[in-house]
Amino acid sequence: MHFLDQAKIYIRSGAGGPGAVSFRREKYVEYGGPDGGNGGKGGDIVFEAVPGLNTLIDFRYTQHFKAQRGVHGSGKNRNGAAGKDLVIKVPIGTQIISDEDGETVLADLTEAGQRVILLEGGMGGRGNASYKTSTNRAPRQHQPGIPFEEMYVWLRLKLLADVGLVGLPNAGKSTFINQITNTKAKVGDYAFTTLRPQLGVVRHKNREFVLADIPGLIAGAAEGAGVGDRFLGHIERCRVLIHLIDINGTDPAEALEIVEDELAAYGEGLDEKPRLIALNKIDTVDRELVNAFIKELKAAGADKIYPISGATGKGMTALLNAVTTFLPAATGTERPAGEQEEGDDTPWSPV
């Protein structure tokens, strides 16, 4: 399935049905009179967040949505039927944005089952029977019904994940997410193997959380370099970010600075989120070099460094333990503090 995180659509609610102008005509009935019924209400445009969707690709092929109009009234005081509401199902995390300025958020659907009525259908018009009075015995007035509402809106998907994974291209993010989740992200020895966000579920010590991997950032991403910063919106809702740094890169300290600058340039509070710095691919170098780069990263402003290997899993336990401290309290029974889990690699504890 192709990934699409924004789409522009046209929506229109249903118009109200017109009221009827009718007069009673029955054999053997001495007195007639107005009996025109009211028109039915038009259908609403409703957006609903549903689980199981993680892309807006359906809106590339279907872009016009129109609710049913109300049925007109008729004689014998018969009111018209209301038009059916049109329910548009979108992924959880979808924002509905005004097309006028491209910035105003009309609705933000962040929970499964959440609904919002964006456009209301027009009210049905009154039939002439409702205008009858003691002095106006044969009214011919009626209402045509309230017209429909219409607009263009942008749908923008911001994935809901607990943890976000950032770093320069080829920092090993795809290998990392493949190691700790069931995701099968593409891995290659060239930059930008990841061209769209990836989601994976991590299970660690009776805890579950969702990890989001986005395409790598490069210097100038905020100005559109590389794939730009368009995918940073998918980690805006994360509780904590993991910044992955390649120990084989030209300068890990410079890599740290580049990504930090791009997060700050993007804004939206990303530069204020807690970050865990992970020095990746330690299986390819000796410990002396690892310690040297850790000192450089600390000198560049990093607080605590987690040496890891996405390929072998070394150091992952300490990093995931740190991640769980930023998540809501677990409902299950966790392993007591200090008890070593199978696969723990204590020699590579964070420093």
Rounded Cα distance, 307 and 98, in Å: 45
β pairing state of 198-204 and 207-213: antiparallel
**CA dihedral over 219, 102, 59, 233, signed as positive or negative:** positive
- Paired with 241 in beta bridges are 164, 275
Binding residue positions: 167-174, 192-196, 213-216, 280-283, 309-311
Binding residue positions for Mg(2+): 174, 194
Long-range contacts of 265-271 (CB under 8 A, 24+ apart): 265/221, 265/222, 265/229, 266/222, 266/229, 266/232, 268/232, 268/233, 268/236, 269/236, 270/232, 270/235, 270/236, 270/241
Binding residue positions for GTP: 167-174, 192-196, 213-216, 280-283, 309-311
